[in-house]
Structure 1
Amino acid sequence: MSSARTEVQVRPGVEADLDALTDIYNHYVRETAVTFDTAAFSPEERRPWLLSHPVDGPYPLMVATMTAPGEISQEILGYATSSPYRAKPAYGTSVETTVYVAPHAGRRGIGTLLYKALFAALADEDLHRAYAGIAQPNEASVRLHERFGFRHVGTYAEVGRKFGRYWDVAWYEKEL
């Protein structure tokens, strides 16, 4: 019997992760107002999103995995991404960041590990600011973003409607 212990690692996301990443995201689509998508996705519908985060591209996808002792397969615990803030060229040095953690993996520091890796990857890019929109209330996400130097810059009141009610989105920014 191995005495090795389970360890969480963060690595770039790859196409083989698509099913697990889709499952994590769909949990938030179906159960929460964290995302304003209202219908779950199939992995094939999510493929363009995954392909917009190539391993060697400017918008990384970082995946947290755990491999149990004696196991070969990796369980995906969450992911963090950056994406263009807006499509117009003058926004080219701004990104929007996001992090999603598997529902059973919350409050274990996974989001922190993912954001550390994401911001390390972004450090070599020609970027000036990162933005994050956080549907309210979401104290865990607010704490995570503030821990990484994001500051609140404003709130859009009742900007999205999901589950029969309106939700505010607080916007945060961070200098890169």
Structure 2
Amino acid sequence: MGPTDVQVRAGVEGDLGALTELYNHYVRETAITFDTEPFTPEQRLPWLRSHPEDGPHRLLVAQDARSGAILGYATSSAFRPKAAYATSVEVSVYLSPTAGGRGIGTLLYEELFKVLAAEDVHRAYAGIAQPNDASLRLHARFGFRPIGTYREVGRKFGRYWDVAWFEKEL
């Protein structure tokens, strides 16, 4: 599958079931997210609606142009709720378990950072649960710099996990 076989577009409510299923894989099977209970689409609806088609908080979806399957998504979300943080965003990418290693994460971030270039955003931050070499490589490719690690900050699957934090100037 090449870049022309993948369409990147804004996420819409019609994607909610597929996006929830994709995210729940990471909830159930990995420590990449610290959510511990799977979501229903109804529970994820406020999350989807917090990413409109304009502004600094975006949801971009990668879709197989032939089958229509959702291959992954990228988001830019509020970094913290206080007003002074408004020009900072937290970014993330989640890929379908079968979509890794095909450049889809790169494609999603390329598009996300293009749209963020037109917004009043100063910094992007990414928290990466460790270990996660694929995510570290992706973020390094986009110029993220390490800024610190929260040691044993989350407990999931009966053990503690570190989260390394990275930033990128926009």
Shared topology, TM-score over 0.5? yes
Of residues 114, 131, 140 in structure 1, which corresponds to 2:125?
131
CA distance in 2, matches of 1:174, 1:144: 12
- Secondary structure at the counterpart of residue 157 of structure 1: strand
Following superposition, the deviation at residue 58 of structure 1 comes to 2.5
Of residues 143, 150, 158 in structure 1, which corresponds to 2:152?
158
- Secondary structure at the counterpart of residue 134 of structure 1: strand
RMSD: 1.2
Q: How many residues align?
A: 168
CA distances 1:134-173 after superposition (whole Å, capped 9, x unpaired): 0000000000001000010000000000000000000000
Q: Structure 1: where are the runs of 5+ without partners?
A: 1-5
CA distance in 2, matches of 1:124, 1:94: 14
Of residues 95, 101, 104 in structure 2, which corresponds to 1:107?
101
What TM-score results when the alignment is normalised by the length of structure 1? Answer: 0.93
Corresponding residue for residue 21 of structure 1: 19
Of residues 30, 33, 51 in structure 2, which corresponds to 1:32?
30
Paired letter, 1:49: W
Paired letter, 2:34: F
CA distance in 1, matches of 2:145, 2:48: 28
Is 2:72 the counterpart of 1:78?
yes
Following superposition, the deviation at residue 9 of structure 1 comes to 1.1
Specify the structure having the higher radius of gyration (Cα): 1
Following superposition, the deviation at residue 54 of structure 1 comes to 1.1
Corresponding residue for residue 84 of structure 2: 90
Corresponding residue for residue 63 of structure 2: 65
CA distance in 1, matches of 2:73, 2:64: 12
CA distance in 1, matches of 2:45, 2:7: 23
What TM-score results when the alignment is normalised by the length of structure 2? Answer: 0.96
Percent identity over paired residues = 72
Following superposition, the deviation at residue 60 of structure 1 comes to 1.0
CA distance in 1, matches of 2:99, 2:126: 21
Corresponding residue for residue 3 of structure 1: none
CA distances 1:59-108 after superposition (whole Å, capped 9, x unpaired): 1110000132xxxx511000000011001111111000000000011110
CA distance in 1, matches of 2:128, 2:54: 28
Following superposition, the deviation at residue 24 of structure 1 comes to 0.6
